[in-house]
Structures are given as C-alpha cells and as structure tokens.
Amino acid sequence: MQEKDISATEPDWSREQIERFWEPGKKMIRAVRRYQAAQARGGVLGKIASKYWVLNHLFWSTICQSELHLNTKIGGGLRLTHPTGIIIHPDSKIGPNCMIFHQVTLAGPVTLGGHVDVGAGAKLIGPLSVGDHAVIGANAVVTKDVPAGATVAGIPARVISEG
C-alpha cells in the first residue's frame, strides 16, 4: 500500500479528527479553530459561540496543562500527540501537518514551516523560523533559524543532518 504524498502546504485535516471521547489535544485544537471561526463570523451568534469556545478551550487547556492561545495562527493537521505542558507564544505561527510532543515551548515569535516535528521537551526561543520538513530533537534548545529538511539536536541546537 502506498502512502499518500502530502506537500508541506496542503493540510491533512484527518490528523485533527476526533475519534474518541478522550482526546484532549484534538479537543483543545478544535476549541481554538471554532473560536477563531466564531470570531470571524461576528454578530450576536458569533459572540455567544466564541464565549462558549473560550470556556471549552479553558477546560481542555487545564486538562492538558498547556497554553495554546486562542489567536495563534495554526495550519491544518496539527498533531499534539501527548499534549501535556505545551507552551506556545501567541505570536507563533505553526505550519500545516506539524507534530509537537509534550513539554515543548515556543517562546517568542517562532514560525514553524510545514511537516515540522518537534521532539519532547524542546525549547525554541524566538524570534526564529524553522523550515519545512525539519526535525527538532528531544530537549533541544533552538535559538537560531533551522533550514528546511534539517535535523537539529543538542543544547544549543546544532544541525546533525541535512535533508
């Protein structure tokens, strides 16, 4: 069976599809997306809906002990495999089909390209940008831009392989 080839700019929305009751990461992402849609809709119904999604987001953020701000720009297909302790600065931008593991911090305006995997405990201290298809190793401390396709690891993070 062949895998479906998805470019860095085409989101795979099935990665965010809720399939069970207990999927706190997916439910937190859904709350952000629905809040943003309600805000864009505007009007009285938009205000009421946005207030509901703020409370929903607060609940799932508390369960996850994570901070994924309601106005963060998130590309489709974000995957929070283990959503505990993730802190994302409100000025960060997350590209499509990224995967962020637990205890990750995006401090400051960090821009992730498409298909970026961020390992557990990694700290990205912005401003910086990470290119498409890059991999950030577990517990890496990234303070400089990461080129597309590169794998970085260590403290401070260094390129250990290039794509």
pLDDT at 83 over 60: yes
- Residue type present at position 21: F
Say whether both 129 and 162 belong to one domain. Answer: yes
Is residue 18 assigned to a domain? Answer: no
pTM score, whole prediction: 0.89
- Domain with 41, as residue range(s), is 23-64
CA–CA distance, 16 with 2 (Å, rounded to integer): 22
At residue 128, φ and ψ (nearest 5 deg) are -160, 165
Is residue 16 assigned to a domain? Answer: no
pLDDT of 107-120, one tens digit each? Answer: 999 999 999 999 99
Say whether both 77 and 148 belong to one domain. Answer: yes
pLDDT at 9: 73
